[in-house]
């Protein structure tokens, strides 16, 4: 039993431990320093064992994803989802996402093992042939040759070899992370680069390479550390040390990334900006209550009550500004022109007719806009709700088109007497959550299995939107455009990037993470989202039902670049699960530039993964003999 554990189970347990260490880098634990070393146990296992690379990588993936997505179990708090069903979804997602770890493990063991040396040519001959080769003198000579110590490479050649393999390991990882974040099943959640969410200096390079490209550096450094450690042990054994150029290059890369980050932090916190005053309302409603039709009226009233409380806070704020200002000192009264409500805040949908300009408003929403909001100062309401296409006869279009939408209700919509209202603009969610908002092959046996597992009918699939241009918005300081995202679209990098234009812009996200209770999902979501502000150098506003509602500036933190005030909704302990309002001034760049990432997207991922594949091919073609050592 001891031997079975040592040779069979222990390696996979150790690989799973590597994945657990990686999970500690993200919100819930936030030990981000582990991103540099988590993979070292896994790399040693992959390089020392002769086979099982996929299984070892897969074990690491399971260790990571089972820990990192454990918040999926919180869905069982809703009566519609049983605990076994939530656990099944958690397990299924982990099994799928671990495939990328497994593929990486296979490729590294099979094609990029720096500790694998070819055997002596005679060792490949069958034993019966060896017995027939020559006299005893020839055998002794041959045995002497096989026992000769391999010639040592020069220090520079050895360093270049270490760097070559490190580039392969890091390039393969970046390429697989990029593949995980594209397509229908895209889930770019918590790549290695996201571990820099609390290290703003190192996160700034996302402007060039995107958050996926940031994964290159920690994997490269981990590979260099592991290979160099073995090299040092061999040198210590021989009592002869040489120069380690690979260490200098690794340190130089980190130094360059650090210097670039400092430069970007200074540049974007001193850039010319124009103000946009906003209010974010976080209602903190339980997800199980938002599905209750009898509770919808209560949600409307609570949103109104929270909005009213926000305006009362504004009166107190402006009074304090007046009192603190001197007789001749200018001061600015805070007056939000954009109020944000989270995803699916409005229980009644909008209706649109094909070919008809404007949107038709349901009765409850019309009461809200034209009666209940008129007591407040003028502002544009941005809220989440469903949108349904209707035929001229009032029937839902076939096939049905039901969208998860973000709607802008400008002050003009409050006084427009007719229906439809041409002032209302919407964005329809483009990337739908698989098995949440859309079920593949729903009308087949897949839909039947899904319904049997959940114990209820899944209803109609949402339809994906097709909007290609940002939403125009006329602010007090001039025209701007909004980059809209709904739910976890702010973690799908190509969607916000597709709306980037060379004009003053604001990234907007409305989300409802109430599905996952008071788990780490909300803070992980926010940590992933902040990189969109860095990649595009546009500030971001997030309006979440259960947190984190906040404003990210152009360098990806919540500090106001002028006052240093934190612009996020949390309690004294840092928990985002409270009902509150955020009053903030967003500073939009007056003359924004198009970042390299906005222009070229994931160019670095293509380039570095292609380079890794070329190095693998060259490595396989390279003549190798046992006469050279590490």
Per the domain annotation, does 458 fall within a domain? yes
Is there a contact between 495 and 516 (Cβ–Cβ < 8 Å)? Answer: no
Is residue 127 in a domain? Answer: no
The reply to whether 531 and 393 lie within a common domain is: yes
Segment 471-489 shows an average pLDDT of: 95
Average pLDDT over residues 374-397: 86
Nearest Cα residue to 387 out of 368, 367, 406, 372 = 406
Q: What is the CATH number of the domain that holds 358?
A: 3.60.110.10
Domain boundary among 441, 463, 485: 463
Percent of the chain with pLDDT strictly greater than 70: 86
Domain that holds residue 614: 154-272+601-630
Strands 350-352 and 550-552: unpaired
Q: Is residue 126 part of a domain?
A: no
Q: Are residues 206 and 300 in the same domain?
A: no
Q: What is the Cα–Cα distance from 37 to 52, expressed in whole angstroms?
A: 22
Determine the 3-state secondary structure of 184 from DSSP: coil
Residue 191: pLDDT over 50? yes
Cα separation, 87 vs 93, in Å, equals 10
For 151, 223, 604, 613, the CA distances from 617, given in Å and listed in that order, are 25, 19, 20, 6
Is the domain of 208 the same as that of 313?
A: no
Same domain? 454 vs 581: no
Question: Does residue 235 surpass a pLDDT of 50?
Answer: yes
Residue for token pair 């009074």: 319
Is residue 288 domain-shared with residue 401, that is, in the same domain?
Answer: yes
Beta-carbon contacts of 355 under 8 Å, excluding residues fewer than 6 positions away, are none
Give the tokens for residue 272.
Answer: 């010319």
Residue where a domain terminates, one of 50, 81, 113: 113
pLDDT at residue 120 in the model: 47
On whether both 306 and 401 belong to a single domain, the answer is yes
**pLDDT tens digits for range 563-580:** 889 999 999 888 999 999
Kindly report, residue by residue over 122-153, the tens digit of the pLDDT. 444 555 554 444 556 666 555 655 555 555 56
Q: For residues 161 and 283, state if they share a domain.
A: no
- Domain shared by 630 and 550, yes or no: no
Q: Examine the domain organization and report whether 441 and 409 are in the same domain.
A: no
**Percent of residues in the chain assigned helix, strand, coil, to nearest 5:** 50, 15, 35
Which of 463, 482, 517 represents a domain boundary (last residue)? 463
Strands 380-389 and 350-352: parallel
Average pLDDT score, the chain: 87
**How far, in Å, CA of 291 to CA of 21, rounded?**
37
**How many C-alpha atoms does 73 have within 13 Å on its Cβ side?**
11
Q: Are residues 354 and 497 in the same domain?
A: yes
Q: What is the pLDDT of residue 147?
A: 52
State whether 402 and 266 are in the same domain: no
Report the distance separating Cα 561 and Cα 555, nearest Å.
10
Residue 137 forms part of a structural domain: no
Q: Is residue 148 domain-resident?
A: no
39 pLDDT above the threshold of 80:
yes
Instruction: Average the pLDDT over 587-595 and give the result.
Output: 93
372 pLDDT band, cuts 50/70/90, is very high
The residue-averaged pLDDT of 172-187 equals 89
130 falls within a domain: no
Number of domains in the chain: 4
pLDDT above 90: percentage of residues in the chain: 61
> Any idea what DSSP says for residue 72?
G
Residues 513 and 556 in one domain: yes
Q: What is the DSSP string of 546-597?
A: SS--EEE-TTS-SB-TTT--B-B---TTS---S-EEEEEEEEEESS----HH
Residue 133 lies in a domain: no
Res 206 pLDDT > 50: yes
Q: Which two tokens stand for residue 82?
A: 């049983």
Determine, yes or no, domain membership for 132.
no
């Amino acid at each position: 039993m001891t031997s079975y554990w040592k040779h069979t189970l222990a390696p996979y347990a150790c690989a799973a431990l590597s994945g657990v260490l990686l999970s500690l880098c993200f919100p819930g634990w936030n030990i981000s320093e582990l991103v540099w070393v988590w993979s070292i146990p896994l790399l040693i296992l992959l390089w020392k064992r002769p086979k099982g690379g996929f299984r070892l990588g897969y074990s690491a993936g399971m260790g990571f994803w089972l820990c990192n997505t454990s918040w999926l179990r919180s869905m069982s708090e809703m009566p519609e989802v049983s605990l076994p069903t939530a656990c099944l979804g958690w397990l299924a997602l982990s099994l799928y996402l671990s495939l990328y770890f497994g593929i990486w493990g296979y490729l590294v063991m099979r094609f990029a093992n720096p500790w694998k040396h070819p055997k002596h040519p005679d060792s490949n001959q069958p034993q019966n042939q060896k017995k027939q080769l020559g006299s005893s003198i020839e055998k002794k000579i041959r045995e002497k040759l096989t026992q000769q110590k391999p010639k040592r490479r020069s220090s520079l050649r050895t360093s270049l070899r270490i760097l070559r393999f490190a580039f392969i390991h890091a390039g393969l990882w970046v390429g697989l992370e990029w593949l995980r974040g594209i397509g229908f099943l895209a889930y770019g959640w918590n790549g290695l680069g996201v571990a820099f969410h609390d290290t703003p200096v190192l996160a700034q390079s996302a402007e060039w390479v995107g958050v996926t490209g940031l994964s290159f550096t920690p994997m490269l450094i981990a590979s260099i550390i592991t290979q160099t450690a073995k090299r040092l042990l061999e040198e210590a054994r021989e009592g002869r040390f040489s120069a380690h150029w690979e260490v200098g290059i690794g340190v130089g890369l980190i130094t360059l990334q650090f210097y670039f980050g400092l430069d970007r932090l200074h540049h974007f916190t001193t850039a010319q900006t124009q103000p946009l005053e906003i209010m974010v309302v976080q209602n903190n409603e339980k997800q199980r209550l938002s599905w209750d039709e009898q509770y919808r009226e209560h949600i409307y009233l609570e949103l109104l009550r929270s909005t009213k409380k926000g305006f009362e806070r504004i009166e107190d704020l402006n009074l304090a500004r007046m009192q603190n200002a001197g007789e001749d000192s200018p001061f600015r009264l805070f007056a939000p022109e954009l109020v944000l409500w989270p995803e699916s805040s409005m229980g009644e949908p909008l209706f649109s007719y094909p070919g008809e300009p404007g949107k038709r408003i349901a009765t409850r929403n019309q009461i809200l806009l034209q009666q209940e909001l008129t007591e407040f100062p003028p502002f544009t309401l941005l809220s989440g709700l469903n949108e349904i296409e209707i035929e001229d006869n009032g029937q839902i279009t076939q096939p049905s088109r039901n969208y998860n939408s973000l709607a802008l209700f400008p002050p003009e919509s409050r006084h427009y007497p007719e229906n439809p209202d041409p002032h209302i603009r919407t964005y329809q969610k483009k990337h739908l959550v698989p098995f949440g908002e859309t079920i593949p092959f729903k009308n087949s046996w897949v839909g039947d299995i899904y319904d049997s597992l959940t114990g209820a009918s899944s209803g109609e699939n949402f339809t994906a939107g097709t909007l290609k241009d940002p939403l125009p918005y006329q602010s007090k300081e001039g025209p701007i455009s909004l980059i809209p995202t709904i739910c976890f679209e702010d973690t799908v990098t190509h969607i916000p990037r597709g709306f980037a234009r060379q004009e003053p812009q604001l990234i907007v996200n409305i989300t409802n993470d109430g599905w996952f209770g008071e788990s780490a999902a909300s803070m992980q979501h926010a940590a992933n989202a902040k990189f969109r502000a860095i990649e595009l150098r546009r500030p971001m506003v997030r309006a979440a039902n259960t947190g984190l509602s906040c404003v990210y500036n152009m360098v990806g933190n919540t500090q106001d670049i002028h006052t240093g005030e934190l612009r996020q909704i949390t309690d004294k302990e840092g928990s985002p699960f409270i009902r509150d309002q955020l009053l903030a001034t967003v500073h939009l760049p007056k003359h924004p530039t198009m970042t390299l990432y906005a222009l070229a997207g994931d160019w670095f991922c293509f380039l570095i993964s292609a380079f890794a594949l070329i190095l693998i091919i060259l490595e396989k073609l390279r003549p190798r003999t046992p006469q050279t050592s590490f």
